[in-house]
Amino acid sequence: MSIEQVHRTTLCHADGRYLLLYGDHGGDELAPLPVGEHPPLHLRWNALDARWTAISPARNTRPQTAPTADAAAPSCPLCPGGPEVPFAYEAAVFENRFPTLLADPPAAPDLDGDTAPSVGRCEVVLYTPTHTGSLATLEPRELARVIAIWADRSQALWAVDEHRHVLVFENRGEGVGATLAHPHGQIYALGHVPSLVRNRLEALAGHRAAHDTCLTCDVVERDTASERVLLDLPGFVVAVPFAPDWPYEIHVRAKRHGVRRMHDLDAAERRDLAVSLRDVVSRYDRLFDEPMSYMMVCQQAPAAEDGTPAEDWHLAFEFLPPNRAADRTKFRASVETSTGLFINDTIPEMCAAMLAEVITDARAVTFPEISVGAG
């Protein structure tokens, strides 16, 4: 199969934020936007829990539109002609105007506890110019392009010495607090390894020390052989995890040892990832005959102390939907929040059986191979 190259064009807003355009676009002039000020932006150290909290009051001023399926959305800031991309585009990435992290953040304030500058990046990824749609309904070329963009941006952000963790994610639907309906995701580059990610690194290291095997390889083998498996492809296994926090949680995990980050995927694995993502979101949206809200996180290997990615980490996309039934939502309440002990109101194997009964067209779709080059 021939490789289609998507050209990346870099523009700059008047406030200094970059705009990356992938593919064809209808202009290169950007309208002036109000210059954001972020003096209170900083990190505070939670000494009792040994983790950082980000203080980011600018997020309270973010624009919002009702997350509806209306095809016409004149107030959507992400549609072509909006403030971020004021002309036609195919796909785009821009620095968030209301960030939690900055490449050159203000100095941390001197307070009665430990603080640090909010070093990092916050990017918004526009999947498509069309206001409606999802990972289940994007055209094959669009989804393949999104995956290529994730890899392109992840690799660029990992190349910055100050970045210790890069997180690709998507919040979809009112059920998880999404404020904009336009199909999009985000990428955060962090200047530290978050506590939950450190916990996973410790689990991998402990398993390696005790058994001399890769814990993630063992999980892949167990999930593939289980009744919780939903889709088994050469490059990825799609399954309800053994111990899910959320009733209809699904993990899409790379099989090959050594695939730790997005740019480690080969062409066949990228196509398998596209099939897997389309399959998962299709199952969600058909399970209760309406779009299901979810949080999606791409778990890439964080930087170890020497800057290299963690050895036994496998790239994974984890889908975390709040539904526990068609008309019931699971909330992260007192026990989960205060102890980390999640209480799942369902049996994982039963949820997997329900999801397995949903028929999708994902395996029948042909996805092109796309790479990114500078325009």
pLDDT digits (tens, 9 = 90+) for 160-178: 999 999 999 999 999 999 9
Q: Is the dihedral of CA 298, 38, 8, 302 positive or negative?
A: negative
Choosing from 149, 172, 194, the residue where a domain stops is 194
What CA–CA distances, in Å, run from 320 to 245, 271, 336, 342?
8, 22, 15, 13
Query: Which amino acid appears at position 306 of this protein?
Result: D
CATH code for the domain of 108: 3.30.428.10
Choosing from 146, 161, 194, the residue where a domain stops is 194
Residue 60: per-residue pLDDT: 65
Residue 73: per-residue pLDDT: 62
Asked, for residue 254, whether it belongs to a domain, the answer is yes
Residue 31: per-residue pLDDT: 81
Residue 71: per-residue pLDDT: 57
pLDDT digits (tens, 9 = 90+) for 53-73: 999 987 666 555 555 555 556
Asked, for residue 374, whether it belongs to a domain, the answer is no
Asked, for residue 253, whether it belongs to a domain, the answer is yes
Do 188 and 273 reside in the same domain of the chain? Answer: no
Do 99 and 241 reside in the same domain of the chain? Answer: no
Do 135 and 223 reside in the same domain of the chain? Answer: no
Do 222 and 171 reside in the same domain of the chain? Answer: no
Do 288 and 148 reside in the same domain of the chain? Answer: no
Token pair for 374: 């500078």
Residue 179: per-residue pLDDT: 87
Choosing from 194, 211, 235, the residue where a domain stops is 194
Do 26 and 135 reside in the same domain of the chain? Answer: yes
Q: List phi, psi (to 5°) of 145.
A: -70, -40
Do 345 and 258 reside in the same domain of the chain? Answer: yes
Residue 36: per-residue pLDDT: 58
Do 266 and 279 reside in the same domain of the chain? Answer: yes
Please name every residue paired with 371 in a beta bridge, in sequence order, or none if there are none: 5
Do 184 and 230 reside in the same domain of the chain? Answer: no
Maximum C-alpha span of the chain:
60
Annotation marks residue 184 as catalytic: yes
Do 206 and 141 reside in the same domain of the chain? Answer: no
**297: closest CA among 203, 196, 226, 198?**
196
Do 169 and 73 reside in the same domain of the chain? Answer: yes
What CA–CA distances, in Å, run from 132 to 106, 180, 305?
37, 11, 42
Euclidean distance between CA atoms 149 and 89, whole angstroms: 14
Euclidean distance between CA atoms 331 and 246, whole angstroms: 9
Asked, for residue 213, whether it belongs to a domain, the answer is yes
Annotated catalytic residue: which of 184, 192, 251, 314?
Answer: 184
Q: Residue 177 — left, alpha, or beta (φ > 0 → left; ψ -120 to 50 → alpha)?
A: left
For the chain, which residues score pLDDT lower than 70?
Answer: 1, 34-39, 59-74, 375
Asked, for residue 35, whether it belongs to a domain, the answer is yes
Do 168 and 26 reside in the same domain of the chain? Answer: yes
Residue 108: per-residue pLDDT: 95
Asked, for residue 370, whether it belongs to a domain, the answer is no
Burial (CB count <10 Å: 0-12, 13-18, 19+), residue 28: exposed
Domain assignment of residue 266, given as a range: 196-365
Asked, for residue 283, whether it belongs to a domain, the answer is yes
Residue 69: per-residue pLDDT: 54
The number of folded domains in the chain is 2
Query: Which amino acid appears at position 304 of this protein?
Result: A
3-state secondary structure the chain: CCEEEEEEEEEECCCCCEEEEEEEECCCCCCCCCCCCCCCCEEEEECCCCEEEEECHHHHHCCCCCCCCCCCCCCCCCCCCCCCCCCCEEEEEEECCCCCCECCCCCCCCCCCCEECCEEEEEEEECCCCCCCCCCCCCHHHHHHHHHHHHHHHHHHHCCCCCCEEEEEEEECHHHCCCCCCCEEEEEEECCCCHHHHHHHHHHHHHHHHHCCCHHHHHHHHHHHCCCEEEECCCEEEECCCCCCCCCCEEEEECCCCCCCHHHCCHHHHHHHHHHHHHHHHHHHHHCCCCCCEEEEEECCCECCCCCECCCCCCEEEEECCEEECCEECCCCHHHHHHCCCCCCCCHHHHHHHHHCCCCCHHHCCCCEEEEEEC
Asked, for residue 373, whether it belongs to a domain, the answer is no
Euclidean distance between CA atoms 64 and 197, whole angstroms: 30
